[in-house]
Amino acid sequence: MAITLPALPYEANALEPHISANTLGFHHGKHHQTYVTNLNNLIQGTELAEESLEKIILAVANKPEKVGIFNNAAQVWNHTFYWNCMKKGGGGAPSGAIATKITEDFGSFEAFVEAFKSAGLTQFGSGWAWLVLEGGKLKITKTANADTPLAHDQKAILTVDVWEHAYYLDYQNKRADYLDVFLKSLVNWDFANANLKA
């Protein structure tokens, strides 16, 4: 079964004015699609061709000779997860179980915000900032390039993409502004709650 590009969970203009339809058109339609195409080409005719995306990632993680497959598979997964981390009218303080757990593990929502933004800002070059569940506790991590919590026995709860193609058309080099807008106006806490519960 070929890996396919999932549709965005909203219209391309749904996140405006925070993320433009132009950015989503390139980011989803070009970058995400390229990872899908590359992955299918790399696994065609191999034992991985019939596996799920998650199984492919776990099968090739930490294998230097399979790094091309890992990078493309992980980027397909990371991007699909990221689209769901945003919604129209999102952002602000969470409610429900994720709110309780954030306060429990970080001390306050404000402390979480500062730590999450710091992870995104200090990820040198391309990568991701994550809220993950590990050993029953929430923690903030950052991964370089295509790396993903799935390869580290961590459960992903939330992510923000800090590759420049995620924000450059709208924010140029102002990554801090993009992270601020992500948390204030875009983050999908319903998705985070669902991940925490799953």
Task: Please say whether the beta carbons of 69 and 42 come within 8 A.
Answer: yes
* Residue 45 exposure: Cα atoms within 13 Å on the Cβ side: 2
- Residue 28 marked in a binding site: no
Q: How far apart are CA 166 and CA 161, in angstroms?
A: 6
Q: Could you give the angle at the alpha carbon of 19 between the alpha carbons of 15 and 21, nearest 5°?
A: 80
Q: Residue 43: count other Cβ atoms within 10 Å of its Cβ.
A: 20
| Backbone Cα Rg of the chain | 16
Q: How far apart are CA 93 and CA 67, in angstroms?
A: 38
Domains of the chain by start residue, with CATH: 21-85 (1.10.287.990), 96-197 (3.55.40.20)
- Residue 27 marked in a binding site: yes
Q: Is the dihedral of CA 31, 26, 187, 92 positive or negative?
A: positive
pLDDT band at 2 (very low <50, low <70, confident <90, very high): confident
Nearest one of 194, 198, 191, 171 to 91, comparing CA atoms? 191
- Residue 165 marked in a binding site: yes
Q: Which ranges constitute the DSSP H helices of the chain?
A: 21-26, 33-43, 53-60, 67-84, 97-106, 109-122, 168-171, 175-181, 189-197
pLDDT band at 1 (very low <50, low <70, confident <90, very high): low
Mean pLDDT computed over 121-125: 96
Tokens linked to 24? 């989503």
Encoded amino acid at 153, one letter: D
pLDDT tens digits, 178-195: 999 999 999 999 999 999
Q: How far apart are CA 85 and CA 129, in angstroms?
A: 12
pLDDT band at 92 (very low <50, low <70, confident <90, very high): very high
Q: pLDDT exceeding 70 applies to what percent of the chain?
A: 99
pLDDT tens digits, 36-70: 999 999 999 999 999 999 999 999 999 999 999 99
Strand order of the β-sheet with 127-134 is 137-144, 127-134, 155-161
